[in-house]
Structure 1
Amino acid sequence: MVIPASSTEYLHVLVTAPAGTDLTGSPVKIAVVAHGDNPADDEWHTAEWVDGAARLLVGPDGGALTLTRSTYRVWITFDPPGAENIVRLSGSLTIS
């Protein structure tokens, strides 16, 4: 995905839940990082579920974070019902 640095918009991360699992009540967070390591605790931002995807508002006009021109790694974490607490690298984001 490519987003201009001047744009404020939702970053969407699609999630396929296990059969019979409703994720809408599960806490979800997204991290957008420029480094190659797993995100640190302070890099996670509370996201929300909308139509089977997690979303996070990014950008200079009220976004959870403002990103400069670069390529970032996008991570998601959520805690579905049961024993799992899932953390996944979900893709990359280029800010132009």
Structure 2
Amino acid sequence: MDRSSLEELLTPVVSASDPTSYSVRVAVLPDGERPEADDWHAAEWKTIGGIPHASLLVGPDGVVELGPGAYRVWVEITAPPEKPVVASPRFSIN
């Protein structure tokens, strides 16, 4: 992804059941960091090819603006009584 690009960051979520009825939040952080309370942003669900994805607009004027570097996306799903948090593989911004 180029740092000047404004686009949807789609993170696939693999689950035994459809998670899209639950609320989802996303944190995008430099690789090696863990999310704190202020890092989370409300996200939306998008289903692509039958796979649910957490969606967040990133880039200039997006929810999150990223500089060059390596990042991970963290996804938190609120599915009472559970609240799973999962991290994506690393990706890079040029």
TM-score, with normalisation over the residues of structure 1? 0.84
Partner of 1:55: 55
Partner of 1:44: 40
How many residues are paired up? 90
Alignment of 1:6-85 (within 5 A): 6-18=4-16, 21-34=17-30, 36-51=32-47, 52-60=52-60, 62-80=61-79, 82-85=80-83
| Structure 1: gaps of 5 or more residues | none
Separation in 2 of the partners of 1:35 and 1:54?
Answer: 19
Separation in 2 of the partners of 1:63 and 1:91?
Answer: 21
* Runs of 4+ residues over 4 Å off in structure 1: none
Separation in 2 of the partners of 1:39 and 1:69?
Answer: 19
Query: Secondary structure at the residue paired with 1:37?
Result: coil
| Structure 2: gaps of 5 or more residues | none
Shift of 1:83: 2.3
Deviations 1:75-95 (A, max 9, x none): 111012x42110011122211
CA RMSD, aligned part only? 1.4
Shift of 1:35: 5.2
Separation in 2 of the partners of 1:91 and 1:46?
Answer: 20
Deviations 1:16-41 (A, max 9, x none): 222xx332221101111115232011
Alpha carbons 1:75, 1:91 under 8 Å: kept = no
